[in-house]
Structure 1
């Protein structure tokens, strides 16, 4: 009797764990791009500092997000997310559980400037120069 109960319990556990959940969603509204976005540096080489990037297509319009980790001169790690979509381009800077999102205001040659209120971020190559009032923070892209 105990053997039958044990076999029945094992069979039920096997059936419950082998069920698949369908998470495909409504594919007619949002189409995810299966291709990977490759970020290149100024020399055309693949940038290996990219933590992750994604491209999402909604109604034929692409929304690209690229995540990087930057390091401050004091050793603090900062998460930086660049987002480009048809409406606007932004940079979100996260440190100490606080996120600041700045909108792209202009591009001068190889330098891009993002601003919000009294905060300004200047991105040039692998460096990000962050200014807020009298505070200036230098960040460099790091490889993880």
Structure 2
């Protein structure tokens, strides 16, 4: 009885191994590797834009950040990278300021509204309003 089971297992293994082809599964849809990249005004990649990368390597634009002011208070900053209307929303002390993108360079983006100006450079965000200068640093969660 053991011989019959062993022979049938070997036969089943051999048939399975021989029938496998190395062509791969043709039913799998090929992944589109074209990712939308946010560009600065001069056509170069805007390095101030952060990306989330999932397990499969797909990038998505990260829009929410928590910054910290020099006094330690948290500031929520939301970047909207919609190509038609790029802006930044800065929320602190239950007040929200929305500034429109004015200028972008490869390492720096400037947002403005009336007398308020926000400059994003790397992990820092500097807000200028009149004579007041507020420096924010991106927190690491």
1:115 pairs with 2:141: no
Q: TM-score, normalised by structure 2?
A: 0.56
Query: Rg larger in 1 or in 2?
Result: 2
Gap change, CA 1:47 and 1:142, over 3 Å in 2: farther
Deviant stretches of 4+, over 2 Å: 45-48
Comparing 90-99 with 100-109, greater Cα deviation is found at 100-109
How many angstroms apart in 2 are the aligned matches of 1:47 and 1:133? 35
Q: 2:74 aligns with which of 73, 77, 83?
A: 77
Gap change, CA 1:90 and 1:143, over 3 Å in 2: same
Please list every run of 5 or more consecutive structure 2 residues that lacks an aligned counterpart in the other structure.
1-46, 54-59
Please list every run of 5 or more consecutive structure 1 residues that lacks an aligned counterpart in the other structure.
1-41, 49-54, 56-63
Q: How many residues align?
A: 89
Per-residue deviation, 1:65: 6.0
Which residue in 2 is equivalent to 1:126?
123
How well do the aligned residues superpose, as a CA RMSD in angstroms? 2.7
Q: Name the structure with the higher strand share.
A: 1
Which residue in 1 is equivalent to 2:140?
143
Instruction: Pick 1 or 2: higher relative contact order, CA cutoff 8 A, min separation 6.
Output: 2
Q: 1:92 aligns with which of 74, 89, 94?
A: 89
How many angstroms apart in 2 are the aligned matches of 1:103 and 1:132? 15
* Preserved CA contact (<8 Å) 2:118 2:126: yes
1:106 pairs with 2:103: yes
Q: TM-score, normalised by structure 1?
A: 0.55
* Preserved CA contact (<8 Å) 1:65 1:83: no
Which residue in 1 is equivalent to 2:37?
none
